[in-house]
Chains A and B, each alone.
Chain A
């Protein structure tokens, strides 16, 4: 049963990815940008322009370009089907490799932020759910509404001003490590994990120190929707029949709260997944405030340089990861609650 559900979901996800890839491919070519003149500079000679067009492969008919990109035209070289995202027009290096160095930074940033935000949001959400409509609940409600509607890049800057310039307890917003520090060998690409694997505790602590403000910024923004969601699901769970039954049976309040929390978590997971997928691209602004060198900054660079293959690669990777996260959480959900996988 579960296997059939997973296969079905995987197939749907795959179709979605293909459609999205083709859509993005045509969309960026429909827009009136001229990447060729970007690369040859102002007032190029006609030969130089034609030469650049040829070297970018833009002189070929669009359907040939698409087939090449997808990897369905063996005469043109490898493509997506062979696991090749193409080469960047700006740097010339393979895009898969470039994304490989930028992606871990973003994943590290948002995973830590989600973890911390969750640790804060669950008790707060539970607290406000125990007495709906009370003073604490209303306070938490206004907070979550506020935090969920804030310009995160501005809060990041504000934190930099307060904690770096005024108080001097945070490092300058210039990346994950200070330029003097030698980086540990790249194993996973995640600086916190790599430094521990290399036994470099100093680098690990430094990375955490540099991650402090960006994580605080994201936790602030994320805590709004997560608290709201935990509260809502918790209120619903506390009103359900099994909690009433547990009360009648005279179970201690703490155990009832635990049961209700478990019931409230299942629907929360789906929303967390959606939020995580959203943050893959949504962390762009925080990354750029703190110059962390994440996937979002790679996206900005590629987009502003009209680097078509890199843009396609970034969108593809972000969507693929969000779809996998949704799928993973849905499978978890289906394993906890088999009614989901009908």
Chain B
């Protein structure tokens, strides 16, 4: 180990292309979650007069783009066409992150907070109730995820809040497990011994010292799980156990367009699918880049 000479070297900063891609996609999604519904040229939940209009050919896009900037068009173009009930696909695609990302973030935020706190308790104190909790989370983890999410949401009522609670419940054991095993390896470190030696109480050591040092695995996992939560939310709407129409949600859009795909009307389903595909990939890439950075450090 050449520990002594290392701190003198400047840390090498490689430009990580994947990391940049991940950050850009995630930022764009966050931006759309904040401003998408405002930027949408049409109301994403109100039908326009034109039904099942295909998107304009690519050759027309520069003209339409110029026209929509200068305001010389009668009405904003339907960039991605309209679906069978006359809703503007483009407006719905860019308004959807407000629902999809909010559900994913809220569910992961909840399960992260509960999971980390319970994981800290389970790792730091060996007690009968922490043992019971670990067995309970074992049982929870052996549930088939998608089916359980469907059961919870369908029986509790199809609302955003219920989707958030259902996902949070199913994801909490992941964070408990990750944090617990990290706490187990952190609590025998020298700094814990040192903190105890200078007279800190156990609670202070657990929260002020062990907790911040045990967060990394859970935070990295969160990036990946947010992506999967988006997939799950979309999947739930696809089978009719998610948010109710006409809410702008990607999975719901794919589902309403699905019957027309066999007839050749691809656009109502294809565009929201591209959005999901790119977004979830972005979160996966970001999570992976963070993981490599953490492991390499």
Q: Which residues of A contact B (CB under 8 A)?
A: 16, 19-20, 23-24, 27-28, 31-33, 142, 145-146, 148-151, 153-155, 157-158, 160-161, 164-165, 172-173, 277-278, 280-282, 284-285, 288-289, 296, 299-300, 303-304, 306, 311, 314-315, 318-319, 322-323
- Known contacts: A149-B231, A151-B280, A160-B261. The answer to whether A31 contacts B155 by CB under 8 A is yes
> What is the chain A residue whose CB lies nearest that of B258?
A157
B142 is an interface residue with CB less than 8 A from chain A = yes
Residue numbers in A under 8 Å from B261 (CB-CB): 157, 160-161, 165
Residue numbers in A under 8 Å from B151 (CB-CB): 24, 27-28, 31, 303, 311, 315
Shortest Cβ distance from residue B261 to the other chain A in the assembled complex, whole angstroms = 5
Instruction: Report yes or no: B269 in contact with A146, Cβ–Cβ below 8 A.
Output: no
Question: How many angstroms from the CA of A323 to the CA of B139 in the assembled complex?
Answer: 12
**Chain B: how many interface residues by the 8 Å CB criterion?**
45
- Known contacts: A161-B261, A303-B151, A303-B155. The answer to whether A149 contacts B227 by CB under 8 A is yes
Number of A-B contacts (CB under 8 A): 139
Instruction: Report yes or no: B241 in contact with A145, Cβ–Cβ below 8 A.
Output: no
- 10 pairs of residues in contact across A and B, judged by CB atoms under 8 Å: A20-B139, A32-B155, A33-B154, A151-B231, A151-B251, A164-B262, A284-B239, A285-B235, A300-B240, A319-B142
Known: A150-B281, A278-B144, A306-B154. 8 other contacts (CB 8 A): A33-B156, A148-B284, A151-B234, A165-B264, A303-B241, A314-B147, A319-B142, A323-B142
B138, B152, B155, B281: the one contacting A145 at CB < 8 Å is: B281
Question: How many angstroms from the CA of A7 to the CA of B139 in the assembled complex?
Answer: 20
- Known contacts: A165-B262, A285-B238, A304-B241. The answer to whether A154 contacts B156 by CB under 8 A is no
Instruction: Report yes or no: A31 in contact with B269, Cβ–Cβ below 8 A.
Output: no
Instruction: Report yes or no: A315 in contact with B147, Cβ–Cβ below 8 A.
Output: yes
- Residues 242-269 of B, flagged 1 when their CB comes within 8 A of A and 0 if not, give 0000000001001000100111101001
> What is the chain A residue whose CB lies nearest that of B277?
A150
B150 is an interface residue with CB less than 8 A from chain A = yes
Instruction: Report yes or no: B281 in contact with A146, Cβ–Cβ below 8 A.
Output: yes
Question: How many angstroms from the CA of A272 to the CA of B280 in the assembled complex?
Answer: 23
Instruction: Report yes or no: B144 in contact with A315, Cβ–Cβ below 8 A.
Output: yes
Question: How many angstroms from the CA of A281 to the CA of B142 in the assembled complex?
Answer: 12
Instruction: Report yes or no: A31 in contact with B288, Cβ–Cβ below 8 A.
Output: no
Instruction: Report yes or no: A304 in contact with B258, Cβ–Cβ below 8 A.
Output: no
Question: How many angstroms from the CA of A146 to the CA of B18 in the assembled complex?
Answer: 12
User: For B154, B281, B283, which residue has the most chain A Cβ atoms within 10 angstroms?
Assistant: B154
Residue numbers in A under 8 Å from B240 (CB-CB): 300, 304
Instruction: Report yes or no: A173 in contact with B262, Cβ–Cβ below 8 A.
Output: yes
Question: How many angstroms from the CA of A20 to the CA of B152 in the assembled complex?
Answer: 15
Instruction: Report yes or no: B273 in contact with A157, Cβ–Cβ below 8 A.
Output: yes
Shortest Cβ distance from residue A210 to the other chain B in the assembled complex, whole angstroms = 14
Task: Please report which residues of chain B, range 70-95, place their CB below 8 angstroms from some CB of chain A when the two chains form the complex.
Answer: none
Residue numbers in B under 8 Å from A281 (CB-CB): 144-147
Residue numbers in A under 8 Å from B205 (CB-CB): none
Instruction: Report yes or no: B262 in contact with A299, Cβ–Cβ below 8 A.
Output: no
Residue numbers in A under 8 Å from B277 (CB-CB): 150-151, 154
- Known contacts: A33-B155, A151-B273. The answer to whether A16 contacts B146 by CB under 8 A is no
Question: How many angstroms from the CA of A195 to the CA of B238 in the assembled complex?
Answer: 33
Question: How many angstroms from the CA of A155 to the CA of B240 in the assembled complex?
Answer: 18
A16, A142, A149, A164: the one contacting B138 at CB < 8 Å is: A16
B142, B144, B281: the one contacting A16 at CB < 8 Å is: B142
